[in-house]
Structure 1
Amino acid sequence: MHGPFARLFRDQYTGAQRCRACTVVNAALLAVVTATAAVVWWPAAVVLAAVGTAAIVFNGYLVPGTPVFAPALVALLPGDPFHAAPPDESDALGGDVDGERVVDALVAAGVLTEDADGLHLDEAFRDRWREEMRTVRDGDLVAAIRTTAPTAERVKKVTADREWFVLSGGGIESETWLARPVAIAEVAAVRALADRDVAHEVAVAAATPLRAFLAQCPVCDGPVEQTTSTACCGGGVDPHEAPEDEILACVECDERLFTF
């Protein structure tokens, strides 16, 4: 936020962190109260509208406790009106750790080995990762994601073209969309890396590149292969589209697991 009113905004619930569900619920409640007051005495309605609008704009909400009850209330509505459309490709848990530091940490922990042909995944780690993937897959994935990414204020399962898990800092601009196979693989990777005493922030950053070493699908346990986006996942050839991606995908269920 910039300008003379910047210090009036509550950063936790405004700007990129604004919860659209909270804003809509509060605006609707304010409209009802204002309309009722206008019937009794219109000057009071004007004051209510001004004060209420200012509270929503600067504070993020008007009614105390809104960040707790509004998302749950909106979740009861059909569809998912307060989320953007899912992306073409899954996001990742992410992390701001330098790539060289990640590789060094994985090599030091024995997760990766290096030779003249490049980097290779330790087979003992692969087995442990596979165990964690089965555990995560069969358990409460929303809770597992929330534990792995504690900075996310909310994690919600959304079913659109496929099953997604949306991590949010409170506003639509801060959403991260994880496809189910990506969520399973990355959460399991972070857990398995904890056994090797890899720092959590490094493990979160490492979870994405580790998906390039998947040998089995996190969802169905099927074999994976390196292919192209047009040969997998219902892709088609269109000369007007961007060049096809080299990807890792499941042979059996067609899930896209990694983009090279």
Structure 2
Amino acid sequence: MSQGALDRVRRPEYTGENRCVPCTATNLLIAAVVTAALAVLVPPAALVFAVFAVGSIWLRGYLVPGTPELTKRYFPEWLLAKFDKAPTADREPISAEDFDPETVLLESGVVEPCEGDDLCLTEDFERAWRRHIDAIADDDALRAELAEQLGLDADEVTFESHGNAYLARNETTRIGQWESRSALLADLAAATELPEWVEWDRLDSRARSQLLSGLRVFVETCPSCGGLVTADTETVESCCRSHTVVAVGCEDCGDRLLEVPYNEAAA
């Protein structure tokens, strides 16, 4: 093949210094598997395919069309980072101290101004969020979703309810606590949908928690019983003091979604 023909085939955006190492590794593995299969079924074709595959990967950076986009989309960020392919420029992590959840939700189109000075969920986000909630409504689906998001074995995850607390455990270790089962449903569904709207991968764990909790303020229909969600103030007693909180909960089943200190000055 002449140099001119090679230049027409070569893809410099995916080779040389621009070569995507995960793409190359993935395609070499695919080529090896197919070559091995051909060696058993059609031995003469195995050598031909192996030469073609290696040549294609060398000249074009990949064998399977669309590989660069597929690896960016489906490879975990920690793996891409090992090959220096993770997006780093101008993508510093955002900590809980560096952002305001309400501003993030508003700027990303999750919420929008409605009556007066209030904010409400946008129709598109609310529909998508509700769809995710419905998909994990039963205990088995809820357990599987929590395990998947935390990288755990679903068979080892159990739930416990203690008063206003809803706990998730992995064998003997507590892995999370929510105000209620409805709060857990809301958070898991939101954690599935929010990456499509905000820069989820840049938020640290505390920032994500704040964003999920802040989002529950806007829930109008109870994730568990489908009834109305209301907010009211109440006095909470502890061993040494009492304080007033704003409690957001389900009117029909009593599940609490959120409890925040009451700011009388802002009322």
Structure with max Cα Rg: 2
Q: Which has the higher contact order (CA 8 A, sep 6+)?
A: 1
Relative to total residues, which structure has the larger helix share, 1 or 2?
A: 2
After TM superposition, the score normalised by the length of structure 2 is: 0.48
After TM superposition, the score normalised by the length of structure 1 is: 0.49
